[in-house]
Amino acid sequence: MYIIMNDSRIDNVSNLKDFLKGARKFDLSLREVSLEERYAFIDETVDRLDYRNLSRTDKGVVFNYLKKITGYKKAQLYRLVDRAVLGKLTRREYRRSKIYRYFDSVDIKLLERTDEYHLRLSEKATVEILRREYEVFGHGEYEKLSKISHSHISNLRHSPIYRNFWINHTKARQVPIGATQKPENFSRPGSIRVDSVSQREVYHINTVDEITQWEIIFCVPQICEACVLPALLDIFDQYPFKLFNFHSDRGGETINYQVANFLQRLLIKQTKSRSYHPNDNALVETKNGSIIRKNMGWQHINQDMADEINLYYRNWFNPYLNFHRPSGFPSIQVDEKGRKRKIYDLYQTPYDFLKSIPEAQNFLKPELNFQILDKIAYEYSDNEFAKLMRQEETKLFAKIRQSDHQDGFVSNP
């Protein structure tokens, strides 16, 4: 509802005080009227109440009244009142302070040509080249550009003239390996996340299935084709189900043509993490710390021990992780505000979770069935198998320390 107000009877500060006291809960701003009408109201009020000759306290009352009616911010209203005191308050026309540009299109083209020749160096390096063109080599067309600041180089490079004609700028190299997307699991086992963990002279290749959290680890002495491809073949062989997706970050150990061709022959789709989406490969990265670092530590391992470590992984550590070590499986809960939270209320071994999937037998490899896997899973209890595994672990680390001692390696205290 709009109300037309006539304040011509308010001719002193006392009346303004009473008005402001009674109008605290009302919105009386002139937001909907034109700028000229607001300026006219301020000018008329300042003249009518003789704002120039009021005391400091009374000026504050008039100011609060104008702020209440016009809705202007404090700083802006101060400027408008000062202009109204000096004379009639009217709308100012915008006048550009500089009606010409110092650097014209010819200068921008010279800069573009310089960037083309030098493949777009940094701003300060470009400034030095432009200075040398004029002062050292005497090219007069660079006179204005020789005095340019490095910050204004960036401004000219973003100008429409430069951007429309610049064709030699840096372009991101598109590597046609893998699809940049979030891995799709289709609610079935077989989509694995892959990452590598460096331990000085050896690398642990960690792979985790997204649905069942089935985990297979392999150790290689180097990240190279001769080591990685046999490692992946061994890893795939240890999974009890068929794989259809291979997801990793953008590291060179997996994003290369050898791995891409290897996966293509096995009809396994390769995907890689997206920029600014750290959760794409978060599952395996959390396992790096909670499993590999926790069990293998940070100590130096000689490259010659890779075969011994893989023997331990295949016979003891990988079976322990999948048949005897429970993992947390989250459920998604949505609150009243639509926010999603992961609640870890289910803990099972990856093998038990695999068996709980409907029609799980269809996902196993042809030569496997749950009768064969049950013999592995229930031959020992969880504590019995963990005890045997730790005994083998002690033997393995004794060999690692002996190998380091023979090579003269002294670990940091």
Chain segment 155-183, per-residue pLDDT in tens: 888 888 886 655 555 555 566 788 888 88
Q: What is the mean pLDDT of the chain?
A: 85
- 344-396 pLDDT tens trace: 888 889 999 999 999 999 999 999 999 999 999 999 899 989 999 999 999 99
User: Does the global pTM surpass 0.75?
Assistant: no
Q: Which pLDDT score, from 0 to 100, does residue 413 have? A: 41
288, 296 in Cβ contact below 8 A? no
Q: Which pLDDT score, from 0 to 100, does residue 164 have? A: 62
Mean pLDDT for 226-251 is: 92
Mean pLDDT for 290-294 is: 90
Q: How far apart are CA 63 and CA 54, in angstroms?
A: 11
Going by the DSSP 8-state scheme, the letter that residue 207 receives in this structure is E
Q: Which pLDDT score, from 0 to 100, does residue 262 have? A: 92
Mean pLDDT for 30-46 is: 82
Q: Which pLDDT score, from 0 to 100, does residue 41 have? A: 85
Mean pLDDT for 215-236 is: 92
Residues 6+ apart with CB under 8 A from 400: 299, 301, 302, 305, 308
For residue 22, name the pLDDT band (cuts at 50, 70, 90): low
In the chain, where the domains are located = 13-86, 105-165, 182-406
Mean pLDDT for 256-277 is: 90
For residue 321, name the pLDDT band (cuts at 50, 70, 90): very high
Cα angle 331-336-338, degrees, rounded to a multiple of 5: 65
Q: How far apart are CA 241 and CA 227, in angstroms?
A: 24
**Who has greater pLDDT, 229 or 92?**
229
For residue 101, name the pLDDT band (cuts at 50, 70, 90): confident
Q: Is the model's pLDDT at 313 over the cut of 70?
A: yes
Q: Is the model's pLDDT at 267 over the cut of 70?
A: yes
Q: How far apart are CA 317 and CA 386, in angstroms?
A: 9
Burial of 42: CB neighbours in 10 Å, binned 0-12, 13-18, 19+: buried
Q: Which pLDDT score, from 0 to 100, does residue 270 have? A: 92
Q: Which pLDDT score, from 0 to 100, does residue 1 have? A: 40
Q: Is the model's pLDDT at 20 over the cut of 80?
A: no
Mean pLDDT for 122-148 is: 89
**152 backbone φψ class: left, alpha, beta (φ>0; ψ -120 to 50):** alpha
Q: Which pLDDT score, from 0 to 100, does residue 24 have? A: 64
Q: How far apart are CA 282 and CA 270, in angstroms?
A: 17
Burial of 81: CB neighbours in 10 Å, binned 0-12, 13-18, 19+: buried
Fold of 182-406: Nucleotidyltransferase; domain 5 (3.30.420)
Cα angle 311-314-318, degrees, rounded to a multiple of 5: 135
